[in-house]
Amino acid sequence: MKIPLMKIGALTCLTLGLFNGQAFAESGITNACSSFGEIQPNENPSHKQINCLLTNAAIEAEIPPEVVKAVATQENGDWRQFNEDGKPIISDDGGIGLMQLTNKSGYDQKKLENDMVYNIGAGVEVLSGMYSRRDLPKIKGAGRRVIENWYFPVMAYNGTKPVNSPLYQENGKMNVNAYQEEVFAEIENQSYLNDTKLAKYPFKTSDFQYDRDSTENIVFKNLEYTLTDPTHDSVYWFRAGDKVVTTSSANIRKDISTTAGAVTVPPNKSLIITGDFDYHESKGNKFVFYPVQTEDKSIKGYVSSAYISNRPSIVKDTNKPVISGTAGKAIPINSTFNPKTGVKAKDDKDGDLTNVIRVEGKVDTNKVGTYNLTYTVADKAGNVSKVTRKITVYDQVTPVISGAGNKTIKLNSSFNPKTNVSAKDNADGNLTSKIKVTGTVNTKKKGTYILKYTVTDSSKNVATVTRKITIDGTKPVISGANSKTVGYYSTFSPKSGVSAKDNLDGNMTSKIKVTGTVNTKKKGTYTLKYTFPAFLNKYDHFFVEEVYFKRLKKKQTHLKVKSAQNLFINCSNQL
């Protein structure tokens, strides 16, 4: 018997003196299968003969052969006692032969290795002994021929260790890797051809007491179960004259070895057993064939034991509806989404069940994320299908950066690269605070500087803007402040005809400040100074237009230009 992590002694129960290795009648099995030939030393019999040996050993011990053959498959998938060299198969953990038994007192080591019939008989005795244990649970009202009632004896055959607990203690989920679960899966597969599902126990974690990290056996707190699903009797005790029904559509073969000329009958078709079962030669067939006929005797032949039962009540609709159209889907943010669009449900008995699909969960199309929807539908027989679907709301729209246009600023002025710059995203809203600026601007040095503005939204969409900042050192230009001679006693306005213009600020005439005065009642030369007041901008260059006055003795107009921007005002008594 193979078990993860450790080897469990299969014959522990023999210490109780239940069998002592002699209860099994080897000759009975051998005689029952003698028609298939004499068993040769160190040779594996044909598959058909091994099927016969396992079946009859199980029947003699009143164990469902379905169970024994599934255990043999789990222990030794090829149903072999010897390898290609005629040597007994012994596993790394000490398992011997077809039934993978370990050597314990009461059994002959050599016979376990070299005698397949003895090996099968020993394995069947061990399994039967497990059924007799009083510390293992049973099904209320069920007997030895009920397949489901062997769940815990099969478990014990491998070991009642935590690794074989039916449930994971930490989360209550089924332990599908437990030894007995794998054996019962073999029964459904090889004895029922996946046409019939065995009843499930209503397990709770409180039913089992154990420490997952310990090698101590499980203590079973609940020793009796009532199953809500119908149980299944073994089909190997049918006799001629018994009435059975088909559990699904089945072929009535004219000959066991071929489907040629077979007649198909529907589910729940009544048949009468007309003789003993027989075996098929194919290694894939681990069931048997019964000779049958319809009640009106119109159809006669052989039917696989996988498709018949003595309990019509267990023939029911076990097929779940099929839900389609629930593949995962990605949709853009702010789009329209109907969770039932394109989703359908169909049942083999009830037909279209789309209108009764229930959907649990919601999708917020205004918010990026992954949402889970659960689709559930049930047919009239109570078979329920559930499908989980993932809907991803995505955002591929990049944020928008505003206010980061190219700009020219004055030399030595102040500059904050984030002033009036903002970022907005369709999903995240205002992302201004997330803007990152790379590059620098030196306002004390004329030139053009490149700044890179980057912002990333929560969906990793990146917006990038490149901005040019130009530092301009061009001075404002004062016009009309030329040197001038005015008449004695005339009217003179120092700002008349004088204007100022800046390449960035435009007309600045109103900001000109004039320092100095001109007395037209007194001849002489006066100096006027034209400036831009400091309150305009402390970093602005102001421009000085100086007017120098030189008093003249002669009555004449005298103009002397000291620089391009010097203005001389000469007052004479000549009009």
Query: What pLDDT sits at residue 214?
Result: 87
Q: Is 507 helix (H, G, I), strand (E, B) or coil?
A: strand
Within this chain, do residues 302 and 365 fall inside the same structural domain, yes or no? no
Boundary (domain end) residue, out of 363, 379, 394: 394
Within this chain, do residues 536 and 561 fall inside the same structural domain, yes or no? yes
CB-count exposure of residue 478 (10 Å: 0-12, 13-18, 19+): buried
DSSP annotation string for 382-405: --EEEEEEEEEEE--PPPEEES--
Within this chain, do residues 254 and 390 fall inside the same structural domain, yes or no? no
Boundary (domain end) residue, out of 314, 337, 368: 314
CA distance 255 to 258: 6
pLDDT tens digits, 434-450: 999 999 999 999 999 99
Query: What pLDDT sits at residue 28?
Result: 77
Within this chain, do residues 445 and 573 fall inside the same structural domain, yes or no? no
Strand 250-252 to 263-265 pairing: antiparallel
Strand 407-410 to 462-472 pairing: parallel
CATH number where 418 lies: 2.60.40.10
Query: What pLDDT sits at residue 24?
Result: 56
Within this chain, do residues 482 and 523 fall inside the same structural domain, yes or no? yes
Within this chain, do residues 139 and 220 fall inside the same structural domain, yes or no? yes
Residue 124: closest CA among 34, 23, 251, 52: 23
Is 371 within the bounds of a domain?
yes
Within this chain, do residues 111 and 96 fall inside the same structural domain, yes or no? yes
CA distance 157 to 455: 66
CA distance 354 to 346: 7
Which helix or strand (DSSP H or E) is residue 571 part of? strand 569-572
Within this chain, do residues 215 and 359 fall inside the same structural domain, yes or no? no
Burial 4-43 (b: 16+ CB within 10 A, else e): eeebbbbbebbeeeebebeebeeeebeebbeebeebeeee
| pTM of the predicted protein model | 0.55
Query: What pLDDT sits at residue 174?
Result: 95
The tokens 């309990």 sit on which residue?
Answer: 311
State which amino acid sits at residue 387.
Answer: V
CA distance 398 to 429: 12
Query: What pLDDT sits at residue 558?
Result: 38
Residue 527: closest CA among 573, 479, 481, 569: 569
Token representation of residue 548: 């120098």
Within this chain, do residues 430 and 284 fall inside the same structural domain, yes or no? no
User: Which parts of the chain sit beneath pLDDT 50?
Assistant: 2-23, 313-315, 534-575
CA distance 122 to 143: 22
Within this chain, do residues 408 and 549 fall inside the same structural domain, yes or no? no
Strand partners, 323: 345
Q: Which domain holds residue 302?
A: 243-314
Domain count along the chain: 5
Within this chain, do residues 298 and 344 fall inside the same structural domain, yes or no? no
Task: Quickly list H helices, 257-382.
Answer: none
Boundary (domain end) residue, out of 314, 342, 369: 314
